[in-house]
Amino acid sequence: LSDVNSWVLKVDKLMKDLDQENLSGDAYKEKLADLQREMLNMSKYQNAFKWLEESLGELTDQAPNADTKREREQLQEIYSRFLDFKPNMDSTLQKSSIVSKAYEYRDNVDKKLSWLDAVYKLAVEQRDRDVDSLQDAIVCLDEIETLSDKLEIEKANIQEEVEAGKHLQRDRNAPAFIQQSAAELDRKWKDTNEVVKARHERIRDQVTDWERYESEKAAFLVHMKKAEEELEHPLAVLSQGSAEKELLSKKELQTTLSNLQGNLMQIARLNATLAEGAGQVHQEQLKGEVVDFENKLDDVSQHLEAKLVELKAALDNWNEYSGRLFNFSDWLTAEETRLNEIYESKNITPEIHFQELQ
């Protein structure tokens, strides 16, 4: 009786274990194999029940008492449990094929979910990372493109796994968790692609902004250096022509600086955009760059204005000098003409000639 009871309890436990949905595919197969081995003993224990019942009947006839009654009730209880799980055992074995596939399917899905979780985590971690330079942005872009490529490679496998889950669901004996696993895989796939795509677009824009910023900044500094070098040279005002040429050159420089003011506004806008993705320390550094550029442009502009004032004063002097020189030349020419007329005059006396010369 003890042996029969142990066997019934063992089979009953195997049946309950096989009904659990938290098993791995390998664990399910192992327990299913155990149940199938116990099924081979079915006839043995059916005969044992028959023998126990007959033996207990003989014992009861020989010595009917409360003990034998309890034994009969215990035997009947065990046998009832045996009869109860027999149909369930048959049902379990009948649907074991689809259930085994279901557990294998869930194991495969769990592996893919773990992989997607890792990709999702990397994308989120990178999304929250500070981008303090063009080099940082390029590194992040390379990383996110690698993740994007991996997703593209895995795309067919994931979609195939989702479709496999839908196919398994059509079996009437399919466990409910198949639908849950397929739905979870589909959701996680979409979520991971969404966060990777969004990050890829964002970091790609940041790379473009950093490249534009560095290019605009480099061009601005080149113009600033050229302007500073030009303003360091003494003004060429040794003649009116050279002064006028110098003024034309400085006005061209003034136009260049005016255009640079617009470039500086573009640099400031890019700087503010890039600062949003940078760390606190680099945010301050970026803001400081714009302030330095503004101060540099102001200094050069003021220096140029001083040069222009000096040039205009020099040109005014040259204009006044030229005017006076031309007036003196005109007067001198007129006097020379008058003198020649006196010399050439033949109709006046020497006394009058002398007086006119005086």
15-51 pLDDT, tens digit per residue, is 777 666 666 667 767 776 776 677 767 767 677 767 7
Residue 261 has pLDDT above 60, yes or no: yes
Residue 321 lies in a domain: no
Residue 176 lies in a domain: yes
93 lies in the same domain as 112: no
Query: Could you tell me the pLDDT band of residue 111, with boundaries at 50, 70 and 90?
Result: very high
Of 81, 97, 113, the position where a domain reaches its end is 97
Whole-angstrom Cα distance, residue 9 to residue 82?
Answer: 9
SS3 258: helix
Looking up residue 12, the CATH number of its domain turns out to be: 1.10.132
203 lies in the same domain as 241: no
Whole-angstrom Cα distance, residue 214 to residue 284?
Answer: 17
Residue 289 has pLDDT above 80, yes or no: yes
108 lies in the same domain as 183: yes
- The angle, 0 to 180 degrees and rounded to 10, between the axes of the packed helices 66-94 and 96-127 is 70
- pLDDT on residue 265: 93
SS3 breakdown of the chain: % helix, strand, coil, rounded to 5? 90, 0, 10
Amino acid letter for position 329? S
The Cβ-side half-sphere exposure at 164, using a 13 Å CA radius, reads 17
Using only C-alpha atoms, what is the Rg of the chain?
51
Higher pLDDT, 280 or 54: 280
- pLDDT on residue 92: 64
Of 97, 119, 138, the position where a domain reaches its end is 97
Per residue in 52-79, pLDDT (tens digit) is 666 666 666 655 666 666 777 777 777 7
108 lies in the same domain as 93: no
Residue 226 lies in a domain: no
Residue 341 lies in a domain: no
Residue 358 lies in a domain: no
- pLDDT on residue 172: 80
What is the overall mean pLDDT for the chain? Answer: 85
30 lies in the same domain as 84: yes
Looking up residue 118, the CATH number of its domain turns out to be: 1.20.58.60
Residue 182: give the domain boundaries. 104-207
Name every residue whose Cβ is closer than 8 Å to that of residue 96 and which is 6 or more positions away in sequence. Answer: 32
- pLDDT on residue 4: 73
> In Å, how far are 12, 88, 189 from 84, measured between CA atoms?
10, 7, 44
For every residue of 51-104, DSSP letters joined together read HHHHHHHHHHHHS-SHHHHHHHHHHHHHHHHHHHHHHHHHHHHHSHHHHHHHHH
Per residue in 245-255, pLDDT (tens digit) is 989 999 999 99
262 lies in the same domain as 180: no
Whole-angstrom Cα distance, residue 112 to residue 104?
Answer: 13
What is the rounded average pLDDT of the residues 145-158?
95
Residue 27 lies in a domain: yes
Query: Could you tell me the pLDDT band of residue 238, with boundaries at 50, 70 and 90?
Result: confident
- pLDDT on residue 170: 84
89 lies in the same domain as 127: no
Under a CB-based contact definition with an 8 Å cutoff, are residues 192 and 144 in contact? no
Residue 40 lies in a domain: yes
Residue 245 lies in a domain: yes
Of 69, 97, 125, the position where a domain reaches its end is 97
For every residue of 194-239, DSSP letters joined together read HHHHHHHHHHHHHHHHHHHHHHHHHHHHHHHHHHHHHHHSPP--SS
In this prediction, what percent of the chain has a pLDDT beyond 70? 85
- pLDDT on residue 104: 84
How many domains, in total, are found in the chain? 3
- pLDDT on residue 223: 93
Per residue in 152-207, pLDDT (tens digit) is 999 999 999 999 999 888 888 778 888 889 999 999 999 999 999 999 999 999 99
Long-range contact pairs involving 93-97 (C-beta distance under 8 Å, separation at least 24): 93/35, 93/36, 93/39, 94/173, 95/173, 96/32
DSSP letter, residue 348: S
Per residue in 95-108, pLDDT (tens digit) is 666 677 888 888 88
Whole-angstrom Cα distance, residue 63 to residue 43?
Answer: 30
- pLDDT on residue 254: 93
243 lies in the same domain as 304: yes
